[in-house]
Amino acid sequence: MEPIRPPQNIVIVGAGIAGISCALSISRELTPFVPDLKITVYERHDVLSTSGGAINLTPVAQRHLALLGVLAELDRMGPEGGADVDAIELFSMRSGRGIGAINFTDNQGKGFGGYKGRRVMRIALSVAMMTVAERTQNIEIVFGKKVVGGEEFADRAVVKFDDSTEAVGDLVIGCDGVHSAVRTQFVDVGRSAEYTGLSFLQATIDTDSLTSRPHFRTSSLNISRHGSMLASYCDRDNEQIFAAAIVQFSREALTRYRLQPGQDWGTQHRIRAALREEIRSRFRKCNIPCIKEMIESKADWMLYPVYQVPIGGRWCMNRVILLGDAAHAMPPRDESAAYALDDAILFSRILASYRSEPLAEVFDAYETLRRDTINHAFKESRRMWERNREMGLLEGRLKEWMMSFHIKSNEHARETAWAFDATKMALPTPAPSEDLVSLNSFLRDRTL
């Protein structure tokens, strides 16, 4: 029997957090065994997208980005590389009072495993990831390639682009986000993302433009019965505040408020004014001066509807697998990017350890390791997101009172999640097969 060879030509769809971290991690794990490894990442945008505002990275996300060399690149960017977040402080918009904090430091003020949180603009994170990928010899990133479908054969998988060209790989990894074409056109046809009913309204505001002093140290979540308003510095010099309202928004309103390329000036102006009014009408009774100012400001709020991918669907075929949001987009908490990074690192480690096994076993081992964690995280995210829905007076008060209790009762689970290290997690052992050589190679690797 021909020995099974690990994939040598790998196609990744999507140059987001999952796609680039997957390319970096596979290169790191597999290159020692596959010297002529070739990883090509196909991204639908022509250039890096500048939209999306800022993202909070948890200690575990930072640890994994450090492993991939991305954190060092972010640090090299100086102030633009993001603001350290010691804690997300919670406040009641009604009373203006503090109601607790999610701490990213322990009792001695140290981060978990050496890492705190970090709020960074998405574009800065993308640039840092691209920079590391570009100097990695066996990774190539091709922009302007939108996948619209694919096909699988016994020895290869093919992805098809909207310009009628194709790319062929021994292994195809769909990292193309919540609306993944690899998922909906290929792996799990028809498993479309569904709107959660909640949206982000985001803006970036110059700190200098505010007359009242911000009430938070680095990051705050300000809650009300009409939703929450996140306000956080997103650069090391605290020159800019990233503000994001998390609010209930009807599906019908989404189309009315969507800013699109090619819209005339009048329409864009009308949408911007309407979004400002949405923010004002929901939070006008806020009792926190700096938030009140942001709400009344002329900031340009952008609408980001939040979608999720129903759990329980297929993640893989014979030569194609989904990672990151493409497989399991959930209502975002601070952990969502960390899940994409965990996926990338765990999958790459399994791919290298199971290099003499068929891909079906690689996929199987990965699913065995990931499914329960993801299903649990999905349910937890849904539960937390429900708290941002519109509430009556009494329910709103109850939410405030219960908040500090929730924060305290989840502290242990949060800190355990932040201590997670995908590089140390024990991998399942390949099942004994006729090819005992592969099992032996696996066991030898483990003991080295």
Where on the chain is the footprint of ligand FAD (CB under 6 A)?
A: 13-19, 42-45, 55-56, 146-147, 175-177, 181, 200, 304, 306, 324-326, 332, 334-338, 340
Pairing of strands 302-308, 194-206: antiparallel
Distance of closest approach, residue 133 Cβ to ligand FAD, in angstroms: 13
Of 34 and 57, CB closest to ligand FAD: 57
Amino acid 133 reads: A
Of 6 and 53, CB closest to ligand FAD: 53
Distance of closest approach, residue 340 Cβ to ligand FAD, in angstroms: 4
Distance of closest approach, residue 15 Cβ to ligand FAD, in angstroms: 5
Of 19 and 81, CB closest to ligand FAD: 19
Distance of closest approach, residue 151 Cβ to ligand FAD, in angstroms: 15
Distance spanning both ends of the chain, measured CA to CA: 28
Compute φ and ψ for 13, nearest 5 degrees.
-105, 120
- Assess contact for 229 and 299: CB atoms under 8 A: no
Distance of closest approach, residue 86 Cβ to ligand FAD, in angstroms: 16
Of 37 and 55, CB closest to ligand FAD: 55
The residue number with the shortest CB distance to ligand FAD is 16
Residue-by-residue DSSP string for 82-95: -EEESEEEEEETTT
- Assess contact for 355 and 171: CB atoms under 8 A: no
- Assess contact for 119 and 237: CB atoms under 8 A: no
43 backbone φψ class: left, alpha, beta (φ>0; ψ -120 to 50): beta
Of 15 and 158, CB closest to ligand FAD: 15
Strands (E), 14-125: 38-42, 54-57, 83-85, 87-92, 98-103, 117-121
3-state secondary structure of 315: coil
Of 325 and 400, CB closest to ligand FAD: 325
Of 45 and 97, CB closest to ligand FAD: 45
Gap between the Cα atoms of 230 and 245, Å rounded: 6
Of 34 and 201, CB closest to ligand FAD: 201
- Assess contact for 223 and 398: CB atoms under 8 A: no
Distance of closest approach, residue 371 Cβ to ligand FAD, in angstroms: 17
Distance of closest approach, residue 338 Cβ to ligand FAD, in angstroms: 6
Distance of CA 73 to the CA centre of its chain: 19
Gap between the Cα atoms of 167 and 149, Å rounded: 11
The sheet that has 302-308: what strands, in order across it? Answer: 98-103, 87-92, 219-224, 227-233, 240-248, 194-206, 302-308
Of 161 and 442, CB closest to ligand FAD: 161
Gap between the Cα atoms of 160 and 166, Å rounded: 5
Of 175 and 203, CB closest to ligand FAD: 175
228 sits in which H/E element: strand 227-233
Distance of closest approach, residue 62 Cβ to ligand FAD, in angstroms: 11
Of 122 and 226, CB closest to ligand FAD: 122
Distance of closest approach, residue 412 Cβ to ligand FAD, in angstroms: 20
Distance of closest approach, residue 286 Cβ to ligand FAD, in angstroms: 21
Q: Which residues pair with 42 in a beta bridge?
A: 13, 142
- On the 0-12 / 13-18 / 19+ scale of CB atoms within 10 A, 415 is middle
Distance of closest approach, residue 45 Cβ to ligand FAD, in angstroms: 5
